[in-house]
Chain A
């Protein structure tokens, strides 16, 4: 018993015990599936059967055929533009709530997450009801004798609108949480020292809240890059993205090995994106003092 007591005092043991549940969870639900996907991606599918015949044909297909690269490019453009639109829209919202929300700011932030009260399919369908050919918007236009807006019907623009709508709460939340810890008095210092409001924003607010903003961008970029439900409902026949093709491999065509390889590629693209964002974060330049965390 004495030795067990001593063991409990050991910092290494305590660290191990504290991290064990989380580590186990990650191992079972993240690392193992990832490894299996990685293994499958070097196999081959034949008649809906996975065959352990090691090869790199799947990667040759994805990285060599123009079709796959096109879809990858489309998804990338989609992810970048959706992240950008979310950012431009979410920053003022988060700023206003953090600065002027007063005692209502928690409720205001939770309200931006109100769409989460329902499922994703329902939300995307709701968007379809608004943007589609027989949707609210175009029906109304037609009723009053106008032409329907073609670009909103089953197009990548429609998908983008839907994706912005889906992921904007993440961006608002990430920026809002960052601004909560931001000392707005620093802006007064900037003003007194001759900075106009926009200059103060660029010099002070933006760099000091870049970590939160970067987290928001990552949280929007990754699900957008992998999106398949939204483009299927809102994008129509010509609106398919990388995610749709990927999903296709596990469904209709049953080419699991190719699908796995597509998943691995997706994983690495996201990883590279996170690395790029991470490189922009300099803790000291973000005002990290080494005390607060």
Chain B
């Protein structure tokens, strides 16, 4: 909801979701789905490498997602990455 209001004033937005089935219903303008547990959106404690990669994914997808309300899946897996 916050995201849509920001996008409506002409600022490009992107969010991360753990629950794409909910995000789909709320029509988030651009979203990335991460298969990590809620509360560890950018990975575990001290994983600066992963945190920076996921923030990078958010920035890159600001211009890569051109279609409205698209939710893109991120490739990371909780146990492996």
Query: Do chains A and B interact in one complex?
Result: no
